[in-house]
């Protein structure tokens, strides 16, 4: 619908099933002449484009509307050049259904309360590069490079009998929380939106210094342009149009994400992950080191399957 509001360029969209990483082998195999002029990617893929040297840099002269995006959400190459244009913000966070949760959850340790027997949903390690596991680590003094405190807590949680379901898909989370099978869990904004429209929920988005681990674990979607594209100028003009305040607002309202343009108005749901200042973002958002986590993906999945799943009662 947004594309149809302009007539300068024709866009032939190509939809890829599965994760956004599915496009990487196709670009690599066809480089330096990939059949794409514009690609939508998420955070982990920015690093791959950067390492491969595929990305065309962007400037405010090329894309004037860049000035309306927060400067701290861009991915920059070694030269400090912007190589992605974020078009939506998303994030995953902890929360619970207030009508059925038997306890008020204030810290990560409350998830071990015996009253929560079978009522906690956790995500498996394949989702979001194990951002759920990272939340446990952050809560116990760890981070992406020191996940062990998180694994130790997750083992305790599994042995406590409080894990009611290991979620592998967004639909599983929505169905489990809506049915009342589980009362608390960690998932992204769009999944929570499907629950909160039916039941009162408490989102556990707290000051990072006061309650580490109960923040929004952020990701964003952004456009990238291959540096060898013969239509770079047209691609940049289209991106500029797409991230204008009105279009960015409309796009994200349809998706259930938060706009990146600071002049756009977030939906009521997206307000939970939208902050006007860097100070607020630093307080309530956690920006994941996807580059490092991506190198540990197979190790984390294996550890989850061998050390956590067998302990779930």
The boundaries of every CATH 3.40.190.10 domain in the chain are 3-89+219-274, 91-217+290-311
Q: Please, which residues have CB within 8 angstroms of residue 210's CB and are 6 or more apart in sequence?
A: none
Average pLDDT over residues 271-286: 91
**pLDDT given for residue 119 in this prediction:** 98
- 278 pLDDT exceeds 90? no
Say if residues 91 and 134 touch (Cβ distance below 8 Å): no
CA distance linking residue 133 with residue 147, whole number of Å: 8
pLDDT at 241 over 80: yes
3-state DSSP assignment of residue 85 = strand
pLDDT for residue 16 = 81
pTM value? 0.84
The domain 3-89+219-274 is placed in CATH, from the list 3.10.20.30, 3.30.2270.10, 1.10.10.10, 3.40.190.10, at: 3.40.190.10
Residue 172 has pLDDT above 90, yes or no: yes
CB 103 within 8 A of CB 297: no
**What is the C-alpha to C-alpha distance for residues 185 and 176, in angstroms, rounded to an integer?**
10
In tens, the pLDDT along 24-57 reads: 999 999 999 999 999 999 888 999 999 999 999 9
Instruction: Find the range with the poorest average confidence among 7-21, 195-209, 226-240, 246-260.
Output: 7-21
pLDDT at 44: 85
pLDDT band, residue 18 (cuts 50/70/90): low
Overall fold of domain 91-217+290-311: D-Maltodextrin-Binding Protein; domain 2 (3.40.190)
């Amino acid at each position: 619908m947004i594309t149809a509001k302009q007539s300068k360029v024709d866009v032939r969209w190509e939809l890829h099933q599965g994760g956004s990483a599915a496009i990487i082998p196709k670009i690599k195999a066809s480089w330096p002449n990939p059949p794409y002029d514009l690609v939508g990617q998420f955070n982990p893929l920015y690093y791959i484009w950067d390492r491969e040297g595929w990305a065309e840099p962007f400037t405010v002269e090329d894309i004037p509307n860049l000035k309306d995006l927060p400067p701290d959400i861009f991915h920059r190459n070694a030269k400090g050049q912007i190589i992605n244009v974020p078009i939506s913000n998303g994030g995953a966070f902890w929360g619970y259904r207030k009508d059925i949760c038997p306890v008020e959850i204030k810290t990560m340790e409350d998830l071990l309360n015996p009253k929560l027997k079978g009522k906690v949903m956790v995500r498996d390690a394949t989702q979001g590069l194990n951002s759920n596991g990272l939340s446990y680590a952050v809560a116990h003094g760890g981070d992406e490079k020191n996940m062990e405190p998180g694994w130790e807590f997750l083992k305790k949680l599994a042995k406590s009998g409080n894990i009611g379901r290991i979620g592998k898909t967004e639909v599983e989370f929505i169905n489990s929380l809506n049915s009342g099978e589980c009362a608390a869990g960690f998932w992204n904004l769009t999944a929570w939106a499907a629950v909160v429209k039916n039941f009162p929920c408490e989102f556990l988005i707290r000051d990072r210094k006061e309650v580490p681990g109960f923040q929004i674990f952020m990701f964003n979607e952004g456009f990238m342009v291959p540096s060898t594209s013969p239509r770079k100028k047209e691609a940049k003009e289209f991106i500029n149009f797409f991230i204008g305040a009105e279009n960015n607002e409309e796009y994200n309202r349809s998706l259930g994400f938060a706009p990146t343009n600071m002049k756009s108005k977030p939906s009521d749901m997206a307000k939970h992950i939208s902050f006007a200042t860097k100070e607020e973002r630093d307080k309530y958002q956690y920006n994941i080191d996807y580059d490092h986590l991506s190198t540990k993906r197979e190790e984390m999945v294996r550890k989850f399957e061998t050390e956590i799943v067998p302990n779930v009662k």
